[in-house]
């Protein structure tokens, strides 16, 4: 009828719907794969979303700090992983990052939080020092992960001998995630510091941490002596 405005009956814009937390939670639920969950649960992660598909969602959303905070607050592991991909790392305060680490719970969330967010934060070094000796071994493992980063990228000021002393004394009986992080640091010291390589190799050989870790063909073993020797060999070829 002329002069009459008819209300639209079309469905709401899908892109707008999906940027709400509820819409994204529904999308993540639809991406759940039973086989992926089964594999992830063996590693302590309680989600079944294929990470390539999760990254595709993050790429579509781009950086959205407020949305990232809302997703994190759901407590859902897949939502937290998505939050870490779309957040603005430098926008988090020190206390907020500390709280997030203690809430992370699963290995993948902790790993992404440390590597994608904390390492890019101006609070990284302060948190490294605070977490390094934390009584919670999961929190301490984050401190060791940041220490490994410093060993490689900015070793000035680190007491490498003291790090080796701690690893030698504590790594053998450390809880799994802390042990893994300490072993990583041991390997990086052996790779990056020729003057400490013999001791790093000796510690690894004597403690035998991760010596029998199942390693696929053409992959480097996480057993520190094997890891160190392989990386040094590759560096010599370059």
Cα angle, residue 143 at apex, residues 232 and 214 outer, rounded to 5°: 50
Q: Which pLDDT score, from 0 to 100, does residue 18 have?
A: 54
* CA nearest neighbour of 99 among 122, 75, 82: 75
> Is residue 12 predicted with pLDDT exceeding 60?
no
Domain boundaries, the chain: 15-93, 123-238
Q: Which pLDDT score, from 0 to 100, does residue 17 have?
A: 40
> Is residue 7 predicted with pLDDT exceeding 70?
no
The answer to whether 207 and 172 have CB atoms below 8 angstroms apart is yes
Q: Check residues 13 and 138 and name the one with the higher pLDDT.
A: 138
> Is residue 5 predicted with pLDDT exceeding 60?
no
Beta bridge partners of 49: 32
User: How long is the chain?
Assistant: 238
Q: Which pLDDT score, from 0 to 100, does residue 24 have?
A: 97
Write out pLDDT tens, residues 176-203: 999 999 999 999 999 999 999 999 999 9
Angle, helices 65-73/21-30, rounded to nearest 10 degrees: 60
What is the reported pTM?
0.87
Write out pLDDT tens, residues 37-81: 888 788 778 888 999 999 999 999 999 999 999 999 999 999 999
Contacts 24+ apart (CB under 8 A), 58-63: 58/82, 58/85, 58/86, 61/19, 61/86, 62/86, 63/87, 63/88
Q: Which pLDDT score, from 0 to 100, does residue 2 have?
A: 40
3-state secondary structure of 131: helix
> Is residue 205 predicted with pLDDT exceeding 50?
yes
């Amino acid at each position: 009828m002329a002069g009459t405005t008819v209300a639209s009956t079309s469905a709401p814009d899908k892109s707008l719907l999906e940027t709400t937390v509820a819409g994204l939670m529904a999308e993540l639920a639809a991406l759940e794969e039973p086989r992926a969950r089964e594999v992830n649960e063996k590693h302590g992660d309680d989600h079944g979303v294929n990470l390539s598909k999760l990254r595709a969602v993050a790429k579509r959303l781009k950086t959205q700090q407020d949305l990232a905070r809302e997703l994190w607050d759901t407590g859902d592991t897949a939502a937290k992983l998505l939050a870490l991909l779309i957040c603005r790392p430098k926008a988090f305060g020190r206390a907020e990052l500390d709280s997030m680490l203690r809430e992370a719970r699963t290995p993948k969330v902790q790993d992404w939080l440390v590597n994608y967010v904390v390492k890019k934060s101006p609070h990284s070094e302060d948190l490294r020092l605070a977490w390094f000796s934390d009584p919670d071994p999961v929190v301490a493992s984050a401190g060791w992960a940041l220490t490994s980063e410093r060993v490689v990228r900015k070793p000035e000021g680190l007491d490498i001998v003291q790090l080796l002393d701690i690893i030698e004394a504590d790594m053998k009986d450390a809880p799994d995630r802390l042990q893994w992080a300490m072993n990583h640091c041991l390997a990086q010291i052996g790779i990056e510091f020729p003057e400490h390589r013999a001791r790093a190799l000796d510690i690894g050989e004597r403690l035998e941490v991760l010596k029998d870790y199942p390693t696929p063909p053409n992959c480097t073993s996480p057993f520190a002596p094997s890891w160190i020797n392989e990386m040094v060999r590759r560096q010599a070829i370059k």
